[in-house]
């Protein structure tokens, strides 16, 4: 049987950024070649911080359109929206009931986000966020969960909860592997190249959005902060700006940074920027155009997500039913 993988990205912005694309999406698109892949949009996680309702609905569609435009094939993979599959919320409750206060309190993402909003004001949803994530994962019995470094602690918690449940109630869940399948490039902020590219970065010019116009993308690359000196060399410590541009080039062109160093030997920073800007536009322009095209027909997009949700529910239903039976819930009368 084909092994299964599952992952998701929050619909918390109008556009994915270059870090999401090169760090995760490119990898996901490859995974669907050899795995039974489930990709979903965690909209229930998104409301753990305040969201404008109209924006959220629109962002879920935009995120779905971008997944597909990047190459997630909804025929081959199961692409769905979390809130369309009620089993996520149902299993999350059971997971919450297996989790200790101390254990949940040690989650670094919770601590960071709670500190940001002032601990007293942080919502309880932020606290239970990782247990919902555990439910997302365990419902589908995946063999592994391709996520970035920052999500490893949540996958570790998921493993603990699965083992605990299996121990208490009998073998039920597959314990997902922590090993992240071949991770993608780590991309840094174009204006502040020692910080990870992120939608919460300080300068809008540091963030290259997939939905940016060609002109905007090219401009952001051309105005990227570079380093002292003039040599084009991959050296993260001494030359963070140039190294970031070389990583981006390498991820898009498939050429190793050492090969690029040779290619650019004796040339100036400006040459690298101009050529990289062209490469970025050539690769990402069509992705954006495809996403915009998909967004022109929201009815079709919604229909496609409905089919994905149906596939997801068929996979999730028997797992939840087994959990309900194992914890001792009285079976509900059919109908
Ligand atoms: P986030 O937008 O932080 O929820 O991240 C969604 C996915 O994109 C995760 O798998 C992250 O690991 C990945 N990701 C986010 N930012 C970057 C970055 N700057 N470089 C590489 N991968 C990233
Ligand atoms: N918490 C993840 C993030 O912020 C998104 C996510 C929610 C997720 N549920 C998941 C990722 C399940 C993998 C598996 O990036």
pLDDT in tens, 20-74: 999 899 999 999 999 999 999 999 999 999 999 999 999 999 999 999 999 999 9
- Active-site residue, from 111, 199, 219, 326: 199
For ligand 2, say whether the CB of 8 is within 6 Å of any of its atoms: yes
**What separation in Å is there between the alpha carbon of 329 and the centre of ligand 1?**
39
Average pLDDT over residues 227-232: 94
- What is the SS3 assignment for 25? helix
For ligand 2, say whether the CB of 145 is within 6 Å of any of its atoms: yes
Under the banding of pLDDT at 50, 70 and 90, the label for residue 120 is: confident
- Contact (CB, 8 A) for 68 and 39: no
For ligand 2, say whether the CB of 137 is within 6 Å of any of its atoms: yes
* pTM for the structure as a whole: 0.94
Nearest CA to ligand 1 atom 1: 9
Average pLDDT over residues 189-205: 95
**What separation in Å is there between the alpha carbon of 40 and the centre of ligand 2?**
9
How far, in Å, CA of 234 to CA of 270, rounded? 16
User: What is the DSSP-derived secondary structure letter of residue 297?
Assistant: -
How far, in Å, CA of 200 to CA of 186, rounded? 16
**What separation in Å is there between the alpha carbon of 20 and the centre of ligand 1?**
5
Give the pLDDT of residue 225: 97
**Pocket probe mutation, ligand 2, options 151, 180, 181, max atoms within 8 Å of Cβ:** 151
Q: What order do you get walking across the sheet with 78-81 strand by strand?
A: 4-8, 36-41, 78-81
| 196 flagged as catalytic | yes
Under the banding of pLDDT at 50, 70 and 90, the label for residue 119 is: confident
Nearest to 97 by CA among 140, 143, 134, 142: 134
| 113 flagged as catalytic | yes
How far, in Å, CA of 323 to CA of 174, rounded? 13
Atom of ligand 1 nearest to the CA of 146: 10
**What separation in Å is there between the alpha carbon of 176 and the centre of ligand 2?**
14
- Across all residues in the chain, what is the average pLDDT? 95
| 199 flagged as catalytic | yes
State both tokens at 144.
Answer: 């592994």
For ligand 1, say whether the CB of 8 is within 6 Å of any of its atoms: no
Average pLDDT over residues 7-21: 95
For ligand 1, say whether the CB of 19 is within 6 Å of any of its atoms: yes
């Amino acid at each position: 049987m084909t092994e299964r993988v599952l992952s998701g990205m929050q619909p918390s912005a109008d556009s994915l950024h270059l870090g999401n694309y090169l760090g995760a999406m490119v990898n996901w698109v490859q995974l669907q070649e050899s795995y039974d892949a489930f990709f979903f949009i965690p909209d229930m996680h998104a409301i753990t911080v305040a969201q404008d309702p109209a924006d959220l609905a629109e962002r879920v569609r935009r995120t779905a359109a971008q997944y597909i435009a990047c190459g997630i094939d909804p025929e081959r993979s199961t692409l769905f929206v979390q809130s369309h599959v009620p089993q996520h919320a149902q299993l999350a409750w059971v997971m919450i009931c297996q989790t200790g206060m101390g254990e949940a309190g040690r989650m670094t993402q919770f601590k960071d986000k709670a500190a940001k909003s002032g601990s007293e004001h942080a919502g309880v949803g932020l606290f239970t966020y990782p247990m919902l994530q555990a439910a997302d994962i365990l419902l589908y019995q995946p063999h592994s969960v391709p996520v970035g470094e920052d999500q490893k602690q949540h996958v570790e918690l998921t493993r603990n909860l699965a083992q605990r449940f299996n121990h208490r109630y009998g073998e039920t869940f597959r314990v997902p592997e922590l090993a992240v399948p071949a991770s993608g490039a780590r991309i840094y902020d174009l204006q502040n190249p020692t910080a990870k590219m992120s939608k919460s970065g300080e300068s809008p010019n540091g963030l290259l959005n997939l939905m940016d116009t060609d002109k905007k993308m090219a401009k952001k690359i051309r105005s990227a902060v570079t380093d002292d000196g003039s040599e084009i060399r991959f050296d993260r410590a001494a030359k963070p700006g140039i190294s970031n541009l070389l990583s981006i080039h390498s991820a898009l062109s498939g050429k190793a940074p050492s090969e690029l160093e040779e290619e650019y030997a004796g040339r100036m920073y400006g040459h690298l920027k101009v050529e990289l800007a062209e490469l970025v536009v050539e690769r990402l322009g069509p992705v954006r155009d495809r996403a915009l095209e998909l967004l022109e027909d929201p009815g079709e997009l919604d229909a496609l997500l409905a089919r994905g949700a149906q596939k997801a529910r068929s996979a999730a239903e028997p797992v939840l039913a087994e959990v309900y039976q194992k914890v001792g819930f009285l079976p509900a009368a059919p109908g």
